[in-house]
Structures are given as structure tokens and as C-alpha cells.
């Protein structure tokens, strides 16, 4: 219908009309979805934060507070059943995978308009919830910083991408303090890498200090973990996600993060979900705002342009000198079409890419 109207008033070649009408329709449906209250879309500031720092914290105003207590109890019950089951695989199925299919209460969280709006803006409105999910309980151990494997259960497969083709949702059914063992994240680390693509390695979680063992002295280990972040990039800094009951953390799939040890008798649960994009990004109005580390500007702008079809002004540069990974990436993205770079990006070895 829209195409017919456009053809009557703008007698352009049909292909151009189709492109124009698709763009207008996408824009109109974006505005309609935003205004109608079906989802709560991200502001430019929130989307910029996601592109820059790789995470967003959402408080779900649309959900009754009592729901979080019920989901805390549900996690507790599943973990006590898990402790009693002898067969490891059966036990694991109680706390992992297809969790939303088994819990009506949990569906209220993932279906909340705040979650749907954010995921719709990051992954496109036809996003898909992958079957892998997990209820994490803090325990006596500290995890090392890692990116989740690109295949469930720690296996190595697929490629990482600056573009948000995948994202994770962490949901906390209780207020989370340092004593309870919060998740630590490294804001901005979604664009920096470690190379673990050596011979025969099937370990998919790209861990920092991969061979490290938790020491007896927790303070010394905290320091070692903080130093592993500095070794990746001097300007990166991890922080604990201390959130009120019922908060949701949305993270870029490649953000470095870790679980931390429990320092109190109280339990802490975190429900984790993986989400995936199923369609190319559609146009939406967007203005990139301030980026906290100028070395991330080109990456945020390039990904922002791809994600929204709105221009984000990537400055050009002809400097190919290398120093730290952050600056190399920044220059690479500014150079854009340099054939030497395209060749390196298509290399089969992670070192070169």
C-alpha cells in the first residue's frame, strides 16, 4: 500500500521505492513500538553506554516486587533438589537450560517490557532466546575473568564479534552485596581480546590468567585478578555489580566478567540467559553520545552506525603504527577499507585478526 502511494507521488525506479518504503515502514514501526508502551526502548544515552561500556543495568518497574522473592525461593528449591540428585546430568538439568519453559514466574521477567525493549534495540525485535541458560549460585570460589564460550558448556566454536549478534541477560532475584558474591564486570572490555587459539585448545571461555589457581589468601587472589585486567589493558577496571533486588544486567556477549566468592551465609542467585539476533539491524533514530575512552570511539561509532543506520561520524586516520590493542583497533576501524587490513582481518589465525 505504502509502496503504491510512494510510486504515485515519487515516480522513482521501483527498487528505490521499495528501499525507501522499507526504511519508512521500519521507522514508523520503531516509533509506534516505542510510543505504544509495548516495549520500553533504550534512550540514546543508554544505547551509547551499551556500545561504549558493554553493559546496562535495568530496574524492572513493570514487575511486582513479590515476584523476585518467589524466584529466589524457586532457585533455592532447585538447588536443594540438585544437591540430592546422584546422577550429575539429571542434577544439572534442574538448574540449567530451558529454564523459562519450566517456570511461569521466570517468563514474567524475560517478558518484561524493559527487557524486551533493551534486547530489541540491541539485537533487533525478532531476537531469539537460546536454549542455554543457568542459575548461578555464589560459592567459596572466585572465578577468573572470562568471556563466555561461544558454545554452551565451555566449548570453543564460532567467532567473536564487535557487533552485538549475541547478548546475555543476568537477573538477580535478591539485593546483591559484596558479601553475597556479586558478578564482576570489566566495562569496555568487549572490544579487547586474549589469544587462546593455540594448538588443540578446545577451551572456549577466553580466560584472563588462564592457568591461575585460587590461592589460600583471598586478598592476594583479588589483587591477582585485578592485575589480570590491567595486563589486558592499563585503563580497564573491573567493578562488582551491586544491585537492588530484581535488577537485570544486560551485557555484550564478549564482555569480560566473573563470579566472585560468597563471604556470608546468605545465598546469592543469578539467572543467566543467552540471546541471539535473527535479523539485520533496521533503521532507528540515534545520536551517539559521549564515549568514556576515546580509543573506543571508532568501535562504538562503527557498531552504532551498523546497528541504527544513523551516521555516527568515524574520523579517518592514516596511521598504521601499532601499540596497545585498543589503539590498533581504533586505527583499524578508522582506516576502514585499506586492503592490507582487510587481508589481516580475514586471516585464519587469531593472532593476526
Q: Which window, 62-70, 77-85, 219-227, 251-259, contacts ligand AKG (CB under 6 A)?
A: 251-259
Q: C-beta of 241: minimal distance to ligand AKG in Å?
A: 8
Q: C-beta of 149: minimal distance to ligand AKG in Å?
A: 9
Q: C-beta of 96: minimal distance to ligand AKG in Å?
A: 10
Other C-beta atoms within 10 Å of 269: how many?
22
Long-range contacts of 174-179 (CB under 8 A, 24+ apart): 174/68, 174/72, 174/245, 174/267, 174/268, 174/269, 175/243, 175/244, 175/245, 176/241, 176/242, 176/243, 176/247, 176/268, 176/270, 177/242, 178/240, 178/242, 178/260, 178/263, 179/262, 179/263, 179/264, 179/266
Asked if 143 interacts with ligand AKG (CB under 6 A), we say yes
Question: By C-beta, is 17 or 58 nearer to ligand AKG?
Answer: 58
Choosing from 259, 281, 296, 303, the residue that interacts with ligand AKG (CB under 6 A) is 259
Choosing from 125, 136, 302, 331, the residue that interacts with ligand AKG (CB under 6 A) is 136
Q: C-beta of 79: minimal distance to ligand AKG in Å?
A: 13
Q: Say if CB 230 and CB 249 are below 8 A apart.
A: no
Using CB positions, name the residue nearest to ligand AKG: 259
Orientation of helix 65-84 relative to helix 88-95, angle to 10°? 180
Question: By C-beta, is 191 or 273 nearer to ligand AKG?
Answer: 273
CA distance 72 to 105: 11
Site for ligand AKG in 170-199 (CB under 6 A): 183
Asked if 206 interacts with ligand AKG (CB under 6 A), we say no
Q: Which window, 12-20, 209-217, 255-263, 341-349, contacts ligand AKG (CB under 6 A)?
A: 255-263
- Alpha-carbon dihedral of residues 306, 237, 117, 124, nearest 10 degrees? 30
Question: Could you give the C-alpha distances from 346 to 262, 277, 311, 327, in angstroms and in order?
Answer: 43, 23, 26, 20
Asked if 272 interacts with ligand AKG (CB under 6 A), we say yes
Q: Which window, 77-85, 225-233, 254-262, 300-308, contacts ligand AKG (CB under 6 A)?
A: 254-262
Question: By C-beta, is 257 or 296 nearer to ligand AKG?
Answer: 257
CA distance 230 to 67: 39
Site for ligand AKG in 64-93 (CB under 6 A): none
Q: Which residues bind ligand AKG (CB under 6 A)?
A: 136, 143, 148, 183, 257-259, 270, 272
Amino acid at each position: 500500500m505504502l509502496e503504491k502511494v510512494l510510486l504515485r507521488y515519487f515516480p522513482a525506479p521501483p527498487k528505490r521505492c521499495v528501499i525507501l518504503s522499507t526504511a519508512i515502514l521500519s521507522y514508523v514501526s520503531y516509533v509506534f513500538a516505542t510510543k505504544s508502551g509495548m516495549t520500553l526502548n533504550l534512550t540514546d544515552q543508554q544505547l551509547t553506554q551499551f556500545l561504549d561500556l558493554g553493559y546496562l543495568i535495568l530496574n524492572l518497574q513493570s514487575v511486582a516486587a513479590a515476584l523476585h522473592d518467589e524466584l529466589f525461593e524457586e532457585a533455592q528449591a532447585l538447588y536443594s533438589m540438585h544437591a540430592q540428585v546422584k546422577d550429575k546430568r539429571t542434577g544439572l538439568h534442574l538448574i540449567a537450560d530451558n529454564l523459562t519453559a519450566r517456570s511461569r514466574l521466570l517468563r514474567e521477567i524475560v517478558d518484561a517490557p524493559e527487557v524486551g525493549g533493551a534486547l530489541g534495540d540491541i539485537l533487533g525485535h525478532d531476537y531469539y532466546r537460546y536454549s542455554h541458560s543457568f542459575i548461578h549460585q555464589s560459592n567459596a570460589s572466585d572465578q577468573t575473568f572470562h568471556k563466555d564460550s561461544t558454545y554452551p558448556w565451555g566449548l570453543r566454536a564460532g567467532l567473536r564479534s564487535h557487533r552485538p549478534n549475541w547478548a546475555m541477560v543476568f537477573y538477580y532475584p535478591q539485593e546483591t552485596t559484596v558479601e553475597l558474591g556479586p558478578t564482576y564486570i570489566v566495562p569496555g572490555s568487549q572490544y579487547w581480546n586474549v589469544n587462546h587459539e593455540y594448538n588443540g585448545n578446545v577451551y572456549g571461555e577466553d580466560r584472563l590468567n588462564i592457568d591461575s589457581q585460587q590461592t589460600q589468601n583471598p586478598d592476594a587472589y583479588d589483587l591477582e585478578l585485578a592485575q589480570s585486567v590491567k595486563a589486558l589493558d592499563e585503563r580497564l577496571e573491573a567493578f562488582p555489580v551491586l544491585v537492588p533486588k530484581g535488577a537485570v544486567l544486560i551485557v555484550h556477549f564478549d564482555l569480560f566478567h566473573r563470579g566472585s566468592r560468597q563471604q556470608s551465609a546468605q545465598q546469592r542467585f543469578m539467572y543467566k540467559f543467552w540471546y541471539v539476533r535473527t535479523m539485520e539491524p533496521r533503521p532507528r533514530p540515534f545520536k551517539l553520545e559521549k564515549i568514556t575512552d576515546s580509543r573506543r570511539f571508532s568501535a562504538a561509532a562503527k557498531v552504532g552506525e551498523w546497528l541504527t543506520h544513523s551516521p555516527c561520524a568515524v574520523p579517518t586516520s592514516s596511521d598504521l603504527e601499532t601499540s596497545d590493542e585498543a589503539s590498533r583497533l581504533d586505527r583499524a576501524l578508522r582506516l576502514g577499507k585499506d586492503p592490507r587490513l582487510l587481508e589481516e582481518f580475514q586471516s585464519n589465525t587469531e593472532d593476526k585478526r
